Structure 1
Amino acid sequence: MAGANGRKAIFITGAASGIGAETARHFARKGWFCGLYDINEMGLKAVAGEIGAENCHVGKLDVTKRADWAAAMEGFSAATGGKMDVLFNNAGIGRHGWFEEIPPEEADLVIDINVKGVVNGVYAALPLLK
């Protein structure tokens, strides 16, 4: 993957599909450098192929793991010269059904990804956003 070469840079979680992938396509079309991060490596590879290797840096990221965030920030920082213009903290999951039918472990996972994952991302990205 190429470097940002002075372009604006966006770090996108959940970039392998859905809103995250479409956000990457949108910003790449606008000339931005995109950091694509997700746990779905096959999906990331597909999105990177669409927007072009010269327009992105790709990495596996489990948003619930602070060590993954640290590694992702290190790689992204190296590709962008230590800058980030936007953190698009998009990774998330949903569980549907009656409350009593959703196991507590599933509720924990939703909170870990959708809440703690976002908080982990803000803490990790803040130095690059300043």
Structure 2
Amino acid sequence: MTQKSIFITGGGSGIGRAIAQKFAAEGWLVGIADRNAQGLAETKALLPHGGCLTYQFDVTDRSGWDEALADFAKETGGAITVVANNAGLPSGGPLTEVTHEELDQLLDVNLRAVFYGAKASYPYLKRSSPEGCLLNTASAAAIYGMANQSVYGATKAGVKSLTESLDAEWSTVGIRVRSLMPSFIDTPLLQQPPNRSRNTPIRDAVVKAGLEFTPVETVAEEAWKAVHGDKVHRLVGKTARKLARVAKWFPGKLRERARILAEAHERSEGRAAQD
């Protein structure tokens, strides 16, 4: 019996690391990619000896994708069972606060690189048919656009749409395409400010808003279910599931909520200016 395999981007921390731990525990061969060499080493140290290969590259680099997947496939007989298109960046704040450099970077990493990963993965997943699966990390932010999430939400909505399109396109060759749509996950990414004009970490804003965090281990379990299930999208966390219900039955309430968030931001900015 051929060992199953998974290649994971953003594997140096957070969701990617948790997915690597879950699949390694199930006996899969794991390949992890990240820009952060230290993070890759830390993840590898958490996995069974000999069950992990590491690749340091930037997901916006097409040649990096090609080289890493080709090398990993040498260890898997030319086929890769799952590719987890997981690497991404957080962002927030009004569009007027986001610099053009930040805008371009977010579009590049969260959307363009996901397309790169999909195209590069196709031949390896096809060889794993009918078990081949592309797993994209989208977000609950793709369900309905909220104030101060225009760029991030748009990139994740793009990932959601890509997932649906490819699940149809690639069904003809036996490849399944799935997405994870988590709400707030307590990872190191939330320790960063939403953009360069702010200093407060994203995590502090989530706590202040009284929203719940979903453990990365829960996301990893949902990733396992996504790869083995029929649902195209898997909502992860109470906030994500609630948001989906409200979007379906009471979309006007979400629109009202979005405006309240925008007004709250303006008030906080006014107070900050006075201080």
TM-score using structure 1 length: 0.93
- Deviation, structure 1 residue 61: 2.1
Is residue 4 of structure 2 the alignment partner of residue 8 of structure 1? Answer: yes
User: Aligned-pair distance for 1:117?
Assistant: 0.6
Partner of 2:121: 125
SS in structure 2 at match of 1:12: strand
- Who is 2:27 aligned against? 31
Alpha-carbon displacement from aligned partner over 1:37-68 (angstroms, at most 9, x marks no partner): 01011100111111034111111121101011
* Greater relative contact order (Cα < 8 A, sep 6+): 1
- Structure 2 Cα separation of the partners of residues 88 and 44 of structure 1: 15
Structure 2 length normalisation: TM-score? 0.45
Query: Do the aligned partners of 1:12 and 1:88 also contact (CA within 8 Å) in 2?
Result: yes
| CA deviation profile, 1:91-128 (whole Å, cap 9, x unmatched) | 00012222111101101101100111110001111110
2:93 equivalent to 1:97: yes
Name segments (4+ residues, structure 1) moved above 3 Å.
Answer: none
- Whether 1:59 and 2:52 are equivalent positions in the alignment is no
Which residue in the other structure is 1:43 paired with?
Answer: 39
In terms of Rg, which structure is larger? 2
Root mean square deviation, CA, Å? 1.2
Distance 1:19 1:95 in 2: 17
Which segments of 5 or more consecutive residues in structure 2 lack a partner in the other structure?
127-275
Matched, 1:68 2:64: yes
- Could you tell me which runs of 5 or more consecutive residues in structure 1 were left unpaired when the two chains were aligned: none
Instruction: Give the Cα–Cα distance (whole angstroms) in 2 for the partners of residues 53 and 70 of structure 1.
Output: 26
Secondary structure of residue in 1 paired with 2:115: helix
Q: Which amino acid aligns with 1:114?
A: N
